[in-house]
Every structure is written in structure tokens, then in C-alpha cells.
Amino acid sequence: MKAARIHAYGDLGNAAVEEVPVPEVGPDEVLIRVAAASVNPLDVKLIGGGLDTYFPLAFPYALGTDLAGTVERAGPLAARWRPGDRVIARADPVRGGAFAEFAVVPAARIAAAPATLPPAAAAGLPTAAGTAWQALFETAHLRAAQTVLIHAGAGGVGSAAVQLARIAGARVAATASGANADLLRRLGAGQVIDYRTEDFAAAVRDVDVVLDTVGGETQQRSFAVLRPGGVLASIVSPPDEALAQAHGVSATFVFHQTDATRLGLVAGLCDAGSLTVVMDRELALGGLAVALDHVASGHTRGKVLLRPA
């Protein structure tokens, strides 16, 4: 089968599509015929070795974590899944393997795919919507009638977070370029702040929750818009604890953990018509370099997807 791999840490040009054997299936694992896979910022960081403390890779390493497809066969302890079942999954980043024609994933990391989404769109759910859910509801405990500021609202995680916050009944403000303002309003943002021309710190105040998907100066300046007792949840880097204490707020780094139950809830929202996946572009596996470069630019509008066939 074809799969995208790297043989050492390095720049994005190290990634290449190669012919490799179809992986073997363990007792609690499922072999999935991949219909589409999602490219995440995590993939870019893994290639460069910037996350080797958290995710030490063994080479050659097969790239990709998020996928949608159909079950080819399941191990004896994963009999819940049958050939032909449509599924979404997130592989362990240390193992990878989603950017391929077939991928093996533990059953605990798999959920039924939403019936209402095409496979390419469904592949954009696991990390983006899963991270947004974990950050908003399990970390920040966002509730109805609260106000949330979501940075980079048009990105993969951001666009999912805007929708999830709206579904939960929160008031949503989001930063984005002006070109994405209409999109974010359709997704549920009541206020869109053009980060190129507006100062978000002057546009909002007394926010209950900030979802930081940018880091750096944006993260540091976000403390000032929180109400006392508010929460900053960052998916980029650990926040400054001293700065949080000085503003009387709490701040947490969200280390995304895959959970099949959470994935199932996300899929259910899609089937209910409440949640969708914003798709930036869809490429064949041969377009891997283009996909990685675009994600690395930090200016995606939703998800970048790869089709192995």
C-alpha cells in the first residue's frame, strides 16, 4: 500500500509517499481502509522533532493521526466493529499511520462516522472537534450564557469550537481575518474581531473563557480580557502561571487525549445537524507536500484533507 513516511526529524521535505506492507492487526485493533485523512499542525511539529519529549518517534515513521474510512477487519477483542462499518478514528501520534491506504487503530480510539457527512469531511473531526470539546467543556467548563473568546476562529479547532460553544448556549466572540467574518457568523459567532485591524483586548472584556489556539503575545494579552475567576485554556503552550495569578484567573494547557465516547458525541452532533466541518482543501496523497506547507503557514480556513486513493 501507499503511505507517507519520514526516516528522520527534519524539514517538511523529508516526508515522502512510499510503498509499504499493509500493517498487521492486533487483538484489540481494527484495520481501516482509509477514505480520507486530516492534516493537523501536530503533523508538522512531529516532522520537525519539536514534540519529541511528548511523542518520541521510531523511524521510519508513518505520518498522520486523523482518518475516516471503512472497517476492513477487526481483531478478536474488537468484535464490536465489523467489515464495512464507516468509522472515524484518531491514531496515537507516536504510532501514526493515517496518511495511507490502510491504517491500524486501537478500538478504543474509534467511533462510528456521522451518516450525514461525506468521508472527507468526517476525517476532519477527531483532533479538531475533539480538542475543542476537551478544552471548552472538560477543561474550562463552559456553560450556557457565558462568554467565550476563541482565537483563530476560522482554523480547524477554532471553527469547531465556535460551533460547539454556540450549541452549548454560550456567547461567542472570535478573532479571524476579515475575509472569514461571514463564515464565523454563520457558524455561530456573535462578534468577529479582525486581528489584522482591531485590538481584541479593546473589543471584549469580562470574558468567562478564552480558548487560545495561537500562543505567544496573543496568549499573554488574553489574560486582561478575562473576568476575575475566568479560565484561559491553551492548546498551543503552557500559560504563564504568574500572569494568571496576577489577573485572578486560572490557566491550563490542554493536552489532547483521544476518547471514543467524546468522538461519538461529536459525530452525534453532526447527525443532528448542529455541527459541520469547514473544509479548506482536499488533495490526493501525492499532494502531501502542498498540504503540509499550507498547514504550516498557519492560515488554513478549516481542515486540509488527504485522500489516499
pLDDT tens, position by position, 138-159: 999 999 999 999 999 999 999 9
Residue-wise pLDDT for 69-80, tens only, equals: 999 999 999 999
Q: Calculate the CA dihedral of residues 240, 130, 291, 25 and round it to 10 degrees.
A: 120
CATH code matching the domain that covers 2-125+277-307, chosen among 3.40.50.300, 3.90.180.10, 3.40.640.10, 3.10.129.10: 3.90.180.10
Residue-wise pLDDT for 90-112, tens only, equals: 999 999 999 999 999 999 999 99
| Average of per-residue pLDDT across 74-90 | 98
Query: What are the extents of the domains in the chain?
Result: 2-125+277-307, 128-253
Assess whether the region 2-125+277-307 and the region 128-253 belong to the same CATH fold: yes
> Three cell numbers at 122?
468526517
- Percent of the chain surpassing pLDDT 90: 98
* Verdict on whether the full-model pTM lies above 0.75: yes
| Average of per-residue pLDDT across 33-46 | 97
Measure Cα distances from 142 to 5, 106, 168, 250 in Å. 39, 30, 8, 13
| Average of per-residue pLDDT across 248-269 | 96
* Per-residue confidence (pLDDT) for residue 309, from 0 to 100: 80
Q: Please give the mean pLDDT across all residues of the chain.
A: 97
Q: Does domain 128-253 have CATH number 1.10.3720.10?
A: no
* Per-residue confidence (pLDDT) for residue 100, from 0 to 100: 98
Q: Give the bridge partners for 306, in sequence order.
A: 37, 283
